[in-house]
């Protein structure tokens, strides 16, 4: 049984095949529509955390490929509370052809994959966000024509998105630097694993603390919200800490030394905090292409796991 839990589970060849398939499916869609390769197939979308992009991109992805998606709201299923993760996985496996889950705890994703008899797709967990990173890699390759040798600098919290970007960079030869305040770095085990994965591709995986220095020579500057869902009690402390130089603004773009440096954000954006309006809406911004590409990259996941493309 194939699942989509972490980019670190893939080989470089497998990741490349996902990107190539996403490219084919996007081109096919732009030329008039996708073939209904998922006709008669269904996807359960299990949400603990709400999301505009994750819900709509997966639902429309299934629709574009001829399949059907069922949205299951946070109030309808209490993972591990109202019902055990194992029981939910077994029940849903009898109804649908795949399960996409967006959860707080990564252990719930692991549990669903352990007990489900259909493919499980990680739509986000507190550990990583592989569907987002796949789309990001697709977007960068589309914009720059390559991934090997690209230099991406992630500015902000060393969170789940940063984790998946490090894994993705390591597998594709893209250098990734995560620049963050002291105490907000990615988990050391994640950095070590990414560096081990990078041994073959030649990618450089780094952690830094000075944004102005770190972005020098960057091809892509990436950011995310400073306070994620579940961290609301830390909001004021985080705002004060990250406001000291970790905002993506015009000065930081200038520090990159590249007039056409690309800017990315997985959204939703807290404008005026981690990114300014001037940058988010600038010609450097890939935000809206990046958001659209969630759908096309995720179609590749659906086609591969459910349609066996």
- Report yes or no on 1 lying in a domain: no
Q: Is 132 a catalytic residue?
A: yes
> What average pLDDT does the segment 141-169 reach?
98
- Report yes or no on 70 lying in a domain: yes
How far is the C-alpha of 227 from the C-alpha of 193, rounded, in Å? 25
Indicate if 203 and 120 belong to the same structural domain.
no
What is the domain count for the chain?
Answer: 2
How far is the C-alpha of 139 from the C-alpha of 271, rounded, in Å? 22
129, two tokens = 């966000």
Indicate if 138 and 103 belong to the same structural domain.
no
Structural domain of 82: 7-129+294-305
Indicate if 40 and 85 belong to the same structural domain.
yes
Q: Which residues of 46-63 are buried (b: 16+ CB within 10 A; e: fewer)?
A: bbbbebebbbebbbebbe
How far is the C-alpha of 174 from the C-alpha of 138, rounded, in Å? 12
From the candidates 132, 247, 290, 298, give the one annotated as an active-site residue: 132
The fraction of the chain above a pLDDT of 70, given in percent, is 99
pLDDT bracket for residue 143 (50, 70, 90):
very high
**Kind and range of the H or E run holding 306:** none
Indicate if 136 and 283 belong to the same structural domain.
yes
230, two tokens = 């579940």
From the candidates 3, 151, 294, 304, give the one annotated as an active-site residue: 294
Indicate if 101 and 142 belong to the same structural domain.
no
Look up the CATH number of the domain holding residue 99: 3.40.50.1370
> What average pLDDT does the segment 245-263 reach?
97
Spell out the residues 6+ positions from residue 202 whose beta carbon is closer than 8 angstroms to its own.
Answer: 148, 173
Among the listed residues 5, 6, 2, 3, the one whose alpha carbon sits nearest the alpha carbon of residue 190: 6
From the candidates 102, 151, 296, 304, give the one annotated as an active-site residue: 102
pLDDT bracket for residue 306 (50, 70, 90):
very high
- Report yes or no on 88 lying in a domain: yes
Neighbours of 122 (CB within 10 A): 30
260, two tokens = 């056409």
From the candidates 55, 219, 266, 298, give the one annotated as an active-site residue: 266
Indicate if 137 and 279 belong to the same structural domain.
yes
Neighbours of 76 (CB within 10 A): 10
How far is the C-alpha of 125 from the C-alpha of 274, rounded, in Å? 21
Q: Is 23 a catalytic residue?
A: no
Q: Is 224 a catalytic residue?
A: yes
pLDDT bracket for residue 150 (50, 70, 90):
very high
From the candidates 126, 157, 219, 224, give the one annotated as an active-site residue: 224
> What average pLDDT does the segment 257-283 reach?
97
> What average pLDDT does the segment 134-159 reach?
98
pLDDT bracket for residue 309 (50, 70, 90):
low
Q: Is 266 a catalytic residue?
A: yes
**What mean pLDDT, rounded, does the chain reach?**
96
């Amino acid at each position: 049984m194939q699942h989509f839990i972490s980019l670190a589970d893939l080989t470089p060849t497998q990741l490349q095949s996902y990107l190539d398939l996403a490219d084919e499916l996007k081109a096919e869609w732009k030329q008039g529509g996708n073939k209904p390769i998922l006709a008669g197939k269904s996807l359960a979308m299990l949400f603990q955390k709400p999301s505009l992009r994750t819900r709509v991109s997966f639902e429309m992805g299934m629709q574009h490929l001829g399949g059907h998606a069922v949205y299951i709201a946070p109030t309808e299923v209490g993972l591990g509370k109202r019902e055990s993760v194992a029981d939910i996985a077994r029940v849903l496996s009898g109804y649908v052809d795949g399960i996409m889950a967006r959860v707080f705890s990564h252990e719930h994703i692991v549990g669903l994959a352990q007990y489900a008899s259909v493919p499980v797709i990680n739509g986000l967990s507190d550990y990583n966000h592989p569907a987002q990173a796949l789309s990001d890699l697709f977007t960068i390759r589309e914009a720059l024509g390559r991934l090997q040798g690209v230099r991406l600098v992630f500015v902000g919290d060393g969170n789940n998105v940063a984790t998946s970007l490090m894994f993705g960079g390591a597998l594709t030869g893209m250098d990734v630097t995560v620049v963050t305040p002291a105490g907000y770095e990615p988990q050391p085990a994640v950095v070590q694993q990414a560096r081990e994965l990078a041994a073959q591709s030649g990618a450089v995986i780094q952690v830094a603390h000075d944004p102005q220095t770190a972005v020098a020579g960057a091809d892509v500057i990436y950011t995310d919200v400073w306070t994620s869902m579940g961290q609301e009690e830390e909001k004021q402390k985080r705002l004060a800490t990250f406001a000291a130089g970790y905002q993506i603004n015009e000065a930081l773009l200038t520090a990159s030394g590249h007039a056409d440096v690309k800017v990315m954000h997985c959204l939703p954006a807290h404008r005026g905090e981690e990114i300014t309006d001037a940058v988010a809406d600038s010609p450097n911004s890939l935000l809206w292409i990046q958001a659209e590409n969630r759908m096309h990259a995720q179609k590749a996941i659906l086609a591969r796991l459910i349609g066996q493309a």
